[in-house]
A and B are shown apart, each in its own frame.
Chain A
Amino acid sequence: MTAEFGQFALILAMTLSIAQAGLSFWGRARRNGVLTGLGEGAALGAFGAVLIGFAALIWAFVTSDFSVVNVAENSHTEKPLIYKIAGAWGSHEGSILLWCLALTAYGAALSLARGLPWGLKALAVAVQGSLGVLFIGYMVLASDPLLRLVSPPVEGRSLNPLLQDPALAAHPPFLYAGYVGLSVVFSLALAALIEGRVDAAWARWLRPWTLAAWGLLTIGITLGAFWAYYELGWGGWWFWDPVENASLMPWLAATALLHSAIVTEKRGALPAWTAFLAIFAFTLSMLGAFLVRSGVLTSVHAFAIDPARGLLLLAILGAASGAGFLLFALRGPKLKDAAAFAPISRESALIINNVILTAVTTAVLAGTLWPLVLEAFGRQGGVGAPYFNLVVGSLMAVAFVVLPVGPLLAWRRGDAIGALQRLAVAGCAGLLIAIAAYALDSPRRAVAAVGVGLGAWLIAGAFVEAAERLRLGKAPWRESLRRAGGLPRGGWGMNLAHIGLGVFVMGAAFETAWKSEDAAVLTTGAGMPLAAFHLTLDSVTDRPGPNYDAERGVIQVTDPAGRGVCTATPERRTYATGGQTTSQVAICPRGLDDIYIVLGERRVAPGGGSSWLVRAYWNPWARLIFLGPILMALGGALSLSDRRIRLAAGRRMPRSQIAPAAAE
């Protein structure tokens, strides 16, 4: 019965979304507060209803109710509980339900938000409701997550073993919360365009939503990359696969939006551009969902694809973003951009940031969709990683050179010479580290030197900015300490995020340049070299798991002096259901570095003895690659906590009048 109850709740959610959109639009047109209030109530109701539907699906998974198609195809009684729950969003239908849950949750949050002007809020709730109608309608009519089977099987087909992993259980919820968080930004942009009020105040309301979506997306992408790193066993963490690009593109657009919204908020400049980016960012989110789910591009991460329904998703994407861009085309040119600024100013620095980020987004989009262009000309093919490394790497390097200068420039008219003088320390640090990196022997020393140097420049630049704000060394330390307490959290958040970026860049460059890889077929007792280390295969034993059988290798890692570094226990798991095998990578952390060992397949020698293919990677500074984005997300959270306080306090004076030195 719970499944039918859930189905009913989802249909109710669609009806409530229609009511939400209709009542809010109507109420805004009639200037009737009761109607818009009902619209907000419908938004809360829609969220509640989708939540009930979602709970029903989780319940079906937890109780292994195989009369539900979704459960029968993606679950199994022997699966651990956490993966039974995670199986709920492992399928196409389940992930669409998760998407709708996030969409209505943001709709409910929007209708509970305070401080927004009445008209803008009503329209934003209405647009959010229209998105709900599109996506919940798609779910109810074409992708029912709770569909029953006529003759239920005794046992389910189980979730793909590669997905049975803690990082990947958490990856979709974060990713979708981020993707769909951009829907609020989209709704607010459309509402402001309809109202004709795209101004500084609007940008202030936009920013917390952008920050939240951006932070969640950052965590989601990082979890995905981390999963690819240790679950796939290929030694890498980013493959420029269409599915990965699909998550990167909205992130890049959201990052650009985060920065352009600052210009609009503080200076009232670039309102049209900010509104455009808001529409563009959510369009890329929807495009991501379409690319991932339709299988239109060949991907190594293709899960739960369905070309026929992909087309329907494309139609939804076309309807939603088409309406958005049409509205923008009608209203955008009328927006006033009053603020004036000099070529050297913080506005200009942020514009350079936006130009580069948009160019990178477009380049990634072009490379990702290029196979479709080829197909239109009757060819089939793909665009390899070298393209993305070259284009994204070079353009981002330009952005990183400019980045630390921006925050040190004043609004309207900046002092470039002064800013560069203050950054001299950071520049020297970056240069020295780059030279040191170049001096170390490596096959890709140029990449390493530029990357590591730029990373150091970013980190040092953020410290210089913070020191400037505290007047560290220029004022008595008591004064600095007092200032540290008074600084807005947004400023700290920005510096933390920029430090995180620097940490990531250093890690990525260092790992790319210095990683080494080796593979050998070993019998027990045999060994192989890896960089400066030595690996010895001690033994391989059988070890049964909850729903798989594993071969576990015990590998001793010793350093050049012969001292033991660690004992690695990589596994090769064979799942009874489906007969699929997965590799459980063993990672020995050594400071910032990883020794990464994969136990490959068993090979039986003609004499009858067994040997195993062992692949090992030495990934120096690999920890930084995942630490960096976490710092960035924390920076976002810190800024968000600042903004929440300010929003809760209602309309205070502009910050420039409270603390002249404090600017984000």
Chain B
Amino acid sequence: MPWLPRSRKARRRLTLVAAAAPILALAVGLVLYGLRDSISYFYTPAQALAAHVRPGRAIQLGGMVAPGSVAKDAGGEVDFVVADHTARSMVTYRGDLPDLFREGQGVVATGAYNRAGVFVASQILAKHDERYMPRALTRALKAEGAWRGSGAAPVYAVSDDGRGGRLP
């Protein structure tokens, strides 16, 4: 084939590029397509209201579980209110709550708003560690001035783990 480069080395390089290019093109295409559809942004209830998140769009909703709002019905569904300083959002979730889910504690729910404005959660972020606070939530709290420092109970939390205080 006359259009191929003469030197053996250059020809080999061309083969390599020809083999790698379609795979890399596929990879880049998939990454761009995948990223477009599966990024879920983080909002607190107030931010979600301000941003007019459309129903059905997957997002992460973070805030405090409002004390006294958790209602567990016999069918296995749990309803509760996620609140920040200025807004509240009704959340419904079907399934077992993570072990560290408590009233007055921080929570991050993944899901989408339905047409009635209720947030239907598909996953409640389960923390493995009670000393751990989701980072996005920490930032949102700091922005609101409700942050009391790492490991400290948030402003409307009622400490119920019986541990009390940190070690020196």
Contact = CB atoms under 8 A, between A and B. Distances in A.
B163 A303 contact: no
Contacts of A356: 23
A341 B168 CA distance: 66
Given A153-B167, A615-B95, A391 B129 contact: no
Which among B60, B128, B134 has the highest number of chain A CB atoms within 10 Å?
B128
B8 A386 contact: no
A519 B108 CA distance: 22
Given A380-B136, A381-B60, A352 B74 contact: no
Nearest to A523: B74
Contacts of A157: 163, 167
A386 B38 CA distance: 6
A366 interface: yes
Contacts of A395: 23, 26-27, 30
Contacts of A367: 31, 34-35
Contacts of B168: 149-151
Interface string B92-103: 001111011000
**Interface class of chain B by DSSP:** mixed
A157 B26 CA distance: 50
B126 to A, nearest CB: 6
B99 A581 contact: yes
B41 to A, nearest CB: 4
Contacts of A374: 39, 41
Given A149-B168, A153-B167, A579-B162, A302 B127 contact: yes
B116 interface: no
Interface string A379-414: 111111111101100110010000000000000000
A430 interface: no
Given A343-B19, A390-B30, A615-B95, A359 B24 contact: yes
Contacts, number: 163
A232 B126 contact: yes
A266 to B, nearest CB: 17
A348 interface: yes
Contacts of A300: 125-128
Contacts of A150: 168
B52 interface: no
Given A381-B39, A387-B34, A611-B74, A160 B96 contact: no
A341 B125 CA distance: 52
B96 A382 contact: no
B161 A579 contact: yes
B54 interface: no
Contact of A351 (B16, B60, B75): B16
B142 interface: no
Interface string A327-358: 00000000000001101000010011001100
Given A298-B135, A383-B39, A390-B30, A613 B96 contact: yes
B130 interface: yes
A593 interface: no
A157 B129 CA distance: 12
Nearest to B161: A579
A157 B130 CA distance: 12
B95 A603 contact: no
Contact of B34 (A304, A386, A579, A583): A386
Contacts of A581: 99
Contacts of B31: 363, 366-367, 391
Nearest to B100: A580
**Interface class of chain A by DSSP:** mixed
Nearest to A300: B126
Given A303-B128, A384-B58, A579-B161, A615 B96 contact: yes
A381 B59 CA distance: 8
Contacts of B39: 370, 374, 381-384, 387
Contacts of A611: 74
Contacts of B3: none
B29 to A, nearest CB: 10
Interface in A260-303: 295-298, 300-303
B12 interface: yes
Interface in B117-168: 125-130, 132, 134-136, 139-140, 160-163, 167-168
Nearest to B163: A578
A72 interface: yes
Given A384-B58, A580-B100, A352 B128 contact: no
B162 to A, nearest CB: 6
B15 A383 contact: no
Contacts of B58: 384
Contacts of B129: 160, 302-304
Interface of A: 69, 72-73, 149-151, 153, 157, 160, 162-163, 232-234, 295-298, 300-305, 340-341, 343, 348, 351-352, 355-356, 359-360, 362-363, 366-367, 370, 374, 379-388, 390-391, 394-395, 398, 519-521, 578-583, 598, 600-601, 603, 605, 611, 613, 615
23 contacts: A153-B167, A160-B128, A233-B96, A298-B108, A303-B129, A351-B16, A351-B20, A352-B23, A355-B19, A359-B27, A362-B27, A366-B35, A379-B41, A381-B42, A384-B110, A386-B38, A391-B31, A395-B26, A519-B96, A578-B130, A578-B163, A582-B99, A613-B76
Interface of B: 8-9, 12, 15-16, 19-20, 23-24, 26-27, 30-31, 33-35, 37-42, 58-60, 72, 74-76, 94-97, 99-100, 108, 110, 125-130, 132, 134-136, 139-140, 160-163, 167-168
